[in-house]
Structure 1
């Protein structure tokens, strides 16, 4: 058993007073007024962060975005955002020609030009309106809700 595993196992047997003391040692601040289970989880999280690292900046931003949505609407709702890492190259063959798109921090690069969305690039390639994520194979048709027209 590793040192981290031993520390995590020891947390399970600690009484509340010892957990509060460990919180002070771990966070360098007084323990919040929460139950022992949440104290254990908070301490365990910090111990694991020290060994494995914390969340990426992108993950923290996504959590903050979802938190704001929950505060505004009361629910996180389904998220359909596509997460692509900077430097990823998307390749699509269309009408016998291969097209390459580079994912950038603030959009996409295609044929030396910058685009804000994949849909703009899909239109550039096909001459017709396409969902960019669908055109590049990042989503399937079944992921979209069908539109209902007013006449139906």
Structure 2
């Protein structure tokens, strides 16, 4: 005799409640960010954004959290400003949806350094506004850099450890 499994009702998906930040608390909260351990920064990200933190460096997390704290206390950008920024972004990517998606969702911010050790040699790639730079030369893709390093075809995002991470 077998028992029928009872299915549990699915919990309703409710968006997380983002706390309002009182204006007088802003300076102290901003000053506390540099001294927080990375685990606390990530927990603060979860509280203030309601999502998992992206796999970027500490400086990125601190700067985005600082902006978010001020945004929640004083308000965000005006709709007109957001529209203008979107229009400027479209001028850069030429309304190419693939570039827009990479620009918006995945591509690390300009100035980010990607470090990969391959066969005992450390390779440093810097993300630029227009692509990437490795050994003083500009490249349009990480795959081209991975190919230059290894001599074989690689997915650049996989080679540099960006594929499969949250936000990637």
Please, what TM-score do these two structures have when normalized by structure 2?
Answer: 0.40
Please, what TM-score do these two structures have when normalized by structure 1?
Answer: 0.44
Larger Cα-atom Rg: 1
* Bigger RCO of structures 1 and 2 (CA < 8 A, at least 6 apart): 2
